[in-house]
Amino acid sequence: MNETFGRYLLDGQRAGTRYGIAIPHTIQRGLFGNELSNRSGSSLEFMDHREYVVGDDLRRIDWSAFARSDKLSIKLFRDEVNSHVDIILDCSGSMALENTAKLRASLGLAALFSQAAANCDYTFTAWQAGDTCLKIANGADRPVLWEGISFESSVGCEESFRKSVPAWRRRSIRVLLSDLFWMGDPSATLGILADGASAVFIIQILAERDLNLPRPGNIRLHDCETGRVEDMFVDTVAREQYRRNLANHQHNWNRACRRFGAVIATVVAERIVEQWALDDLVLGGVLKVL
3-state SS record for the chain = CCHHHHHHHHHHHHHHHHEEECCCCCCCCCCCCCCCCCCCCCCCCEEEEEECCCCCCHHHECHHHHHHHCCCEEEEEHHHCCCEEEEEEECEHHHHCCCCCHHHHHHHHHHHHHHHHHHCCCEEEEEEECCCEEECECCCCCHHHCECCCCCECCCHHHHHHHCCCCCCCCCEEEEEECCCCCCCHHHHHHHHHCCCCEEEEEEEECHHHHCCCCCEEEEEECCCCCCEEEEEECHHHHHHHHHHHHHHHHHHHHHHHHHCCEEEEEEHHHHCCCCCCHHHHHCCCEEEC
Average pLDDT over residues 270-275: 93
Task: Assess whether pLDDT exceeds 70 at residue 24.
Answer: no
pLDDT on residue 165:
82
User: Which of 80, 100, 129 is the last residue before a domain boundary?
Assistant: 80
* Comparison of pLDDT for 253 and 31, the residue scoring more: 253
Q: Is residue 12 a part of any domain in this protein?
A: yes
Q: Is residue 192 a part of any domain in this protein?
A: yes
CA distance 43 to 35: 14
Q: Which residue type, as a one-letter code, is found at position 183?
A: M
* φ and ψ at residue 206, rounded to 5 degrees: -120, 150
pLDDT on residue 76:
64
Residue 37: pLDDT band by 50, 70, 90 thresholds?
Answer: very low
The most confident of the ranges 26-40, 200-214, 225-239, 259-273 is: 259-273
Q: Are residues 64 and 174 in the same domain?
A: no
CA distance 260 to 199: 10
Q: Is residue 35 a part of any domain in this protein?
A: no
Q: Are residues 122 and 153 in the same domain?
A: yes
User: What is the total count of domains within the chain?
Assistant: 2
Q: Is residue 157 a part of any domain in this protein?
A: yes
CA distance 218 to 215: 9
Kindly report the average pLDDT of the chain as a whole number: 85
Find the CATH number of the domain harbouring 253. 3.40.50
| pLDDT tens figures, 143-171 | 999 999 999 999 999 999 999 889 999 98
pLDDT on residue 285:
92
Q: Are residues 50 and 122 in the same domain?
A: no
pLDDT on residue 219:
61
Percent of the chain at pLDDT exceeding 70: 81
pLDDT on residue 46:
60
Q: Is residue 39 a part of any domain in this protein?
A: no
Q: Are residues 68 and 186 in the same domain?
A: no
CA distance 124 to 43: 22
pLDDT on residue 49:
72
pLDDT on residue 103:
97
Q: Are residues 58 and 171 in the same domain?
A: no
Q: Is residue 181 a part of any domain in this protein?
A: yes
Q: Is residue 33 a part of any domain in this protein?
A: no
Q: Are residues 107 and 178 in the same domain?
A: yes
Domain that holds residue 103: 3-19+82-289
* Comparison of pLDDT for 191 and 32, the residue scoring more: 191
Q: Are residues 192 and 214 in the same domain?
A: yes
Closest by CA position to 231, among listed 240, 223, 242? 223
| pLDDT tens figures, 216-261 | 665 655 555 555 666 665 677 777 888 899 999 999 999 999 999 9
Burial 92-125 (b: 16+ CB within 10 A, else e): bbbbbbeebbbbbbbbbbbbbbbbbbbbbebebb
Q: Are residues 242 and 120 in the same domain?
A: yes
Q: Are residues 15 and 57 in the same domain?
A: no
Q: Which residue type, as a one-letter code, is found at position 17?
A: T
Percent of the chain at pLDDT exceeding 90: 61
Q: Are residues 68 and 209 in the same domain?
A: no
pLDDT on residue 231:
61
CA distance 10 to 107: 9
Residue 42: pLDDT band by 50, 70, 90 thresholds?
Answer: very low
Average pLDDT over residues 84-108: 96
Q: Are residues 114 and 158 in the same domain?
A: yes
Average pLDDT over residues 90-114: 96
Q: Are residues 166 and 277 in the same domain?
A: yes
Q: Is residue 37 a part of any domain in this protein?
A: no
Average pLDDT over residues 107-120: 97
